[in-house]
């Protein structure tokens, strides 16, 4: 899944749909379907789901924030297999909502898959990896505060998704696009914050 040229996002959506076969789908079901050998595909999966209308469901952005922070904290520690607390693994969503979200995401994800290739690799690994993880963690930490504003967390999740997608496909252009989106969101937040 992580090799350049793979249809990374499309494969993730297929795995999520496969997990959502019953009436409800748990975080555990989704993680099992995606696999726990690499953390960044899971970061990508969680963030693209929050880009979808699922971000409007109360508590979903906060739950996603906790999952992302735990995942990326483990990425900082260079763990090969992820761990999540049982309380997060047991959280469930209606399967039909998840399938609606993945259906909504398929056209833009197919476009992203078709327009990625290895480039600007210096932004995707090596000494910049801690910066990438730190930016994603700080962005994910804002989700609970943004939950009172419906769907605003989707913009932050979009930035994380672009960064994770760029890292997985070794396409630094998408990592750079994610950084630009984070910077733009930070500027907007400073501008509208009451003095």
**How do residues 100-111 score in pLDDT, each as one tens digit?**
989 999 999 899
CB 2 within 8 A of CB 118: no
Instruction: State how many domains the chain has.
Output: 1
pLDDT at 37: 59
Q: Which segments within the chain are labelled E, that is strand?
A: 24-26, 92-94
- Residue 2 is assigned to a structural domain of this protein: no
Q: Is residue 3 part of a domain?
A: no
In a domain, 42, yes or no: yes
Residue-wise pLDDT tens digits, 49-105? 888 888 788 888 898 999 999 888 888 877 766 788 888 888 888 899 889 989 999
pLDDT classification of 181: cutoffs 50, 70, 90? very high
pTM: predicted TM-score of the whole model, two decimal places: 0.84
In a domain, 1, yes or no: no
Q: What angle, rounded to 10 degrees, do the helices at 129-140 and 60-76 form?
A: 160
Alpha carbon 93 to chain centroid distance? 17
| Domain boundaries, position 132 | 8-192
| Domain contains 160 | yes
- How far is Cα 14 from Cα 12, in angstroms, rounded to an integer? 5
């Amino acid at each position: 899944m992580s090799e350049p040229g793979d249809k990374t996002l499309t494969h993730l959506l297929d795995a999520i749909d496969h997990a959502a076969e019953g009436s409800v789908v748990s975080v555990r079901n989704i993680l099992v379907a995606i696999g726990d050998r690499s953390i960044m595909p899971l970061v990508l999966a969680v963030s693209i789901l929050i880009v979808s209308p699922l971000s409007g469901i109360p508590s979903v952005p906060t739950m996603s924030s906790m999952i992302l922070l735990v995942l990326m904290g483990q990425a900082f520690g260079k763990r090969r297999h992820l761990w999540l607390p049982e309380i997060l693994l047991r959280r469930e969503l209606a399967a039909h909502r998840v399938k609606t979200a993945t259906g909504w995401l398929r056209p833009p994800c197919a476009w992203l898959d078709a327009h990625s290739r290895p480039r600007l690799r210096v932004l995707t690994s090596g000494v910049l990896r801690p910066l990438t993880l730190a930016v994603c963690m700080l962005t994910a930490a804002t989700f609970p505060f943004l939950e009172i504003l419906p769907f605003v967390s989707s913009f932050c999740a979009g930035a994380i998704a672009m960064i994770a997608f760029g890292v997985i496909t070794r396409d630094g252009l998408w990592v750079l696009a994610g950084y630009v989106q984070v910077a733009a969101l930070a500027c907007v937040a400073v501008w509208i914050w009451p003095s």
